[in-house]
Copies of this chain bind each other. A is one copy, B any other.
Amino acid sequence: MSEFISTGTRFAPLPSPFAFKRGGSLNGGRMAYETWGQLNPARDNAVLILTGLSPSAHVASSSENPEKGWWESMVGPGKAIDTMFWHVICINTLGSCKGSTGPASMDPVTGEAYRLQFPDLSIEDCASAAKAVLNHLGIESLACLVGNSMGGMVALSFLQQFPLFTHSHINISGSAQALPFSIAIRSLQREAIRLDPHWNLGRYDTAEYPRNGMRIARKLGVVTYRSAMEWDGRFGRVRLNSDTPQERFGMEFEVESYLEAHAERFVDQFDPNCYLYLSRAMDWFDACQSCARGGDDVVGALTGISLQSALILGATTDILFPLHQQQQLADGLARGGAKTRFMALDSHQGHDAFLVDIDQFAPPIRHFLDELRKTP
C-alpha cells in the first residue's frame, strides 16, 4: 500500500464530496498535476495531456523536477508539444497511486487506506476529475486535449461530458470501447493479482505484498504493449549469458530477462489495488454505452463530439488497441464535423510505439499543433 509522488507535483482539490458515476463518493480527494510553459493572456493556449494506466503527471522534466519524464522526447521547449508556446498540463489519473486520490490513499473518514472501499472507478470519473483540475487552475477552454492509450478513453469521455470546452484533440493509440481481446488480457492480469495469496482481498502491506501476481500482470502487459515483429529483430532466439545455474524452468532467452526487468521495476512502483481499479475501468469504458456488439453504432456515438480539428494516430502493430479502433475514432470525429487527420503509423513497437518511436509520432503531432497555432 504505497503512493509514489515525485517532486514538482502539485495538487488540486476535488470537489468534496466528489460523486462517482457508479455510486459512492470521495471526501477530501485531490488530483496530482504538473504544468510546463505559461498560460497566455488570452488564456487560449492550454494543452491537457491524459496518460495511460500507469504514468505519473511527470510527462517531462522541469525546473522543479529535472528528472526525465515519461514522454520527455515529445514535450518540452522546441519539441513537438512545444512548451515555449503551449501551456501544458499533465494529470495523474484519478484512482492512481502517483499523487491523485486512489485506492492506496488514506480515507480521511477512517484514517486508513481506502483499499477496496474505494468507490467503483470508471473512465468517466477520471474525466470529470481531470476537469476539476482545470477548474482549479481557472482554465476555461483547452486549445488541445491529448490522450494516449487509457488517456485516449478518458479524453473521449471528457469530450462527451464537457462539450465546447475543447478546440482540438489528439488521440493516440486509443479506442472508443474495450474489445474482448483486451478485456481478456486485463481480466487475466487482474486474476493473477487476485489469485496471489498475498493480495488478501486488497489488505496487503509491504511485507505481505502480491509480488508474484503483479509480476505476471506486468509481464503480460509488456507482451501486449510491444509487438512480435519488434522482438524478432531485437531478441531473436538469443540466449542469456549466464554462468550461474538456472532454477528449474527458469530464464534462458533474452526476451525472458527483458520481461523480468520490466516486472521488477513495476512491482515496486505501482499499487496492486490501484492497478485493479484502473484496469477494470478500461474494460467498462464504452463511448457508446448501448454498443454491446460494436460496429457502426460506435462511430455514430462519436459524432456527438464537437471539435474544430482532430488528429488520430495508431500503430499498425498494436494488438491491444488495434488500428481499426483508431479508424473508428477518426470516422466518428470526422462525421461529427472535426477536420480530422488519421495516420496509421507503420511502427514495429506495438501499442507502446508512441512512447518510443518518437521519429514517427512526433512529426504529425508537431504539424498538427503548428497548424493549430495559425488558427484564429
Interface residues of A (CB under 8 A from B): 116, 177-181, 183-185, 187-188, 190-192, 194-195, 197, 201-202, 212, 215-216, 219-220, 223, 227-228, 231-232, 234-239, 248-249, 251-256, 259, 276, 280, 283, 286, 291-294, 319, 322
Closest to A216 in B: B192
The answer to whether A228 touches B179 (Cβ under 8 A) is yes
Which 6 pairs of residues, A with B, have the shortest CB-CB distance?
A181-B228, A180-B231, A180-B255, A236-B293, A180-B235, A195-B212
CB-contact partner of A292 in B236, B291, B292, under 8 A: B236
Q: A185-B223, A319-B228 are in contact. Are A180 and B216 (CB under 8 A)?
A: no
The answer to whether A183 touches B253 (Cβ under 8 A) is yes
Q: A180-B253, A259-B188 are in contact. Are A322 and B228 (CB under 8 A)?
A: yes
Q: A253-B183, A283-B253 are in contact. Are A237 and B191 (CB under 8 A)?
A: no
7 chain-A/chain-B pairs, Cβ below 8 angstroms: A180-B235, A183-B256, A184-B255, A187-B256, A188-B220, A194-B248, A237-B291
CB-CB < 8 A to A253: which residues of B? 180, 183, 187, 283
| Count of chain copies | 2
Closest to A280 in B: B249
CB-CB < 8 A to A201: which residues of B? 248
The answer to whether B286 touches A181 (Cβ under 8 A) is no
| Bound form: Cα–Cα A185–B249 in Å | 14
| Bound form: Cα–Cα A194–B259 in Å | 16
| Bound form: Cα–Cα A249–B191 in Å | 8
The answer to whether A194 touches B231 (Cβ under 8 A) is no
Expressed in whole angstroms, the minimum distance between the Cβ of A202 and any Cβ of chain B is 8
The answer to whether A194 touches B283 (Cβ under 8 A) is no
| Bound form: Cα–Cα A236–B185 in Å | 14
Q: A187-B259, A201-B248, A212-B195 are in contact. Are A223 and B178 (CB under 8 A)?
A: no
Closest to A187 in B: B256
Closest to A185 in B: B223
The answer to whether B177 touches A195 (Cβ under 8 A) is no
**Told that A179-B231, A188-B219 touch, could you supply 8 new A-B pairs with CB distance under 8 A?**
A178-B237, A179-B237, A180-B231, A187-B251, A188-B259, A190-B249, A194-B248, A197-B197
Expressed in whole angstroms, the minimum distance between the Cβ of A133 and any Cβ of chain B is 28
CB-CB < 8 A to A212: which residues of B? 195
| Bound form: Cα–Cα A252–B286 in Å | 14
